[in-house]
Amino acid sequence: MSHLWTIGGSTVFLCLIQCIVSLENGLARTPPMGWLAWERFRCNTDCKNDPENCISERLFRTMADLVVSEGYAAAGYEYINVDDCWLEKERSPTGQLVADRARFPRGIKSLSDYIHSKGLKFGIYEDYGNYTCAGYPGVLGYLQTDAETFASWDVDYVKLDGCYAHPSDMDRGYPEFGFNLNQTGKAMIYSCSWPVYQIYAGMQPNYSSIIQHCNLWRNFDDIQDSWASVESIIDYYGNNQDLVVPNAGPGHWNDPDMLIIGNFGLSYEQSKTQMAIWAILAAPLLMSVDLRTIRPEYKAILQNKKIIAVDQDPLGIQGRRIYKHKGIEIWSRPITPLFQNYFSYAIAFVNRRTDGTPSDVAVTLKELGLTSPTGYKVMDLYEDVDYGVLTPQTKIKVKVNPSGVVILRGDVQPDYNRRLPFYTTQKTVYNPLNQVFRVRTNGF
């Protein structure tokens, strides 16, 4: 079905949202991981006075080198993403986007080629509006042209912001740009800011459509370099989990924004908390930090492969806050391996108190929802403590530092010798998108 518009005396046929095919790029089966410039380097365009930190090809080449040489790529971080402020203020005479000629003298294709030569992938930023948030040209009026330009530059990941656009137009516009990306034949992750701008405008986002057309999307505020900002994001996802959790899954993710670990605003304990909760949330892990100066203890958090494995769990089920009382929170995420109708779990105990002393939390596995009679092999993912195989009746006690976290992994144990006759007749069908898990919190 199409509608007829008349613009300036000429007739234009535009396809309605219903006829725009859904995103079928096969990408982001687990949450994307990489490095992103924005939170740490913002819109610093002063390469004359600050050449080491301005938004330039030099910065992105340097960070690509460090992602490889410092072990981040080996841990799973693969995207190097440019954000706002990479453009000239005007398009070319033929309507193409042009990178700032002084700061990107070799052009974006050269930068993309360099990043690919390192075995990494390249991401870029634009905006569904007349301008980007920083006032550079947006894609409005040039959707096909810009999609084809990105494909010609061998872009792997496109973030589309929503400044200088009408939120009511986004239900059509974001799918339309995604359609143009698909039409290029080049598979590109599509990161949308679609729902957050509609939420700010008092609209209820159509998540069914967002899931169809975007690989990831923003729901809430931009992260800032502070613990208060991280806490506000944690609260948003806990308080709105019934709405947002069912939308996450392989190929489409809620995005709570960048990892700010290693910058200025978070303590060591708070940094551990952000990494753990982002893993529970099945969040994209996009570092925004100066990799040239990061301290070893923060680097170790970002490269914690056991917590990364939770984030990258192939089931793609986003976790939930299952307990909240007097500053203590417990978050739970079902993960692999499965044994028949029992999940394994990652469990994060978070201490939001500020009274200066660690808090003890004692709870049985059963109260956490870990009920398999075959038991669970339990490990502490930061301290590398192996608790062995515990039964559902086992009470565990953890000591959680103020604004800190303890994150455990409980892998369900098969017990074929005792349970084989029963389980050979059992089949479990589950849908990660519809999976609901709840535990009783009485008695914590």
pLDDT tens profile 244-253:
999 999 999 9
31 vs 34, 236, 376, CA distance in Å?
A: 10, 19, 26
Q: Where are the beta strands (DSSP E) in 238-385?
A: 253-255, 285-287, 320-325, 328-339, 342-351, 359-364, 376-380
Domains of the chain, by residue range, sit at 23-311, 320-423
The set of long-range contacts for 181-185, using a CB threshold of 8 Å and a minimum separation of 24, is: 181/25, 181/147, 181/150, 181/151, 182/21, 182/23, 182/24, 182/25, 183/144, 183/147, 184/147, 184/148, 184/150, 184/151, 185/151
211 vs 29, 92, 295, 405, CA distance in Å?
A: 13, 34, 37, 31
Q: Rg of the Cα trace of the chain?
A: 23
290 vs 62, 106, 243, 348, 420, CA distance in Å?
A: 10, 23, 35, 27, 53
Pick from 406, 402, 72: nearest CA to 267: 402
Going by their DSSP bridges, the two strands 359-364 and 395-400 should be labelled as: antiparallel
* CATH code at 23-311: 3.20.20.70
Fold type of domain 320-423? Immunoglobulin-like (2.60.40)
Query: What's the angle, vertex CA 439, arms to CA 199 and CA 231, rounded to 5?
Result: 40
Q: Record the pTM.
A: 0.90
pLDDT surpassing 80 at residue 345: yes
Question: Given 65, 113, 169, 222, which residue is catalytic?
Answer: 222
pLDDT surpassing 70 at residue 428: no
Give me the mean pLDDT over the 197-204 stretch.
Answer: 97
CA dihedral (265, 267, 273, 275) in degrees, to 10, reads: 60
Question: Given 127, 161, 255, 313, which residue is catalytic?
Answer: 161
Q: Using a pLDDT cut of 90, give the percent of the chain over it.
A: 87
pLDDT surpassing 60 at residue 417: no
pLDDT at position 19 is 39
For residue range 292-333, what is the model confidence (pLDDT) as tens digits?
A: 999 999 999 999 999 999 999 999 999 999 999 999 999 999
pLDDT surpassing 90 at residue 427: no
Q: Using a pLDDT cut of 70, give the percent of the chain over it.
A: 89
Q: Is 288 exposed, middle or buried (0-12, 13-18, 19+ CB in 10 A)?
A: buried
Question: Is residue 171 annotated as part of the catalytic site, yes or no?
Answer: no
Give me the mean pLDDT over the 374-386 stretch.
Answer: 97
pLDDT at position 23 is 72
Question: Is residue 222 annotated as part of the catalytic site, yes or no?
Answer: yes
Give the model's confidence band at 439: pLDDT under 50 very low, under 70 low, under 90 confident, else very high: very low
pLDDT surpassing 80 at residue 24: no
pLDDT surpassing 80 at residue 424: no
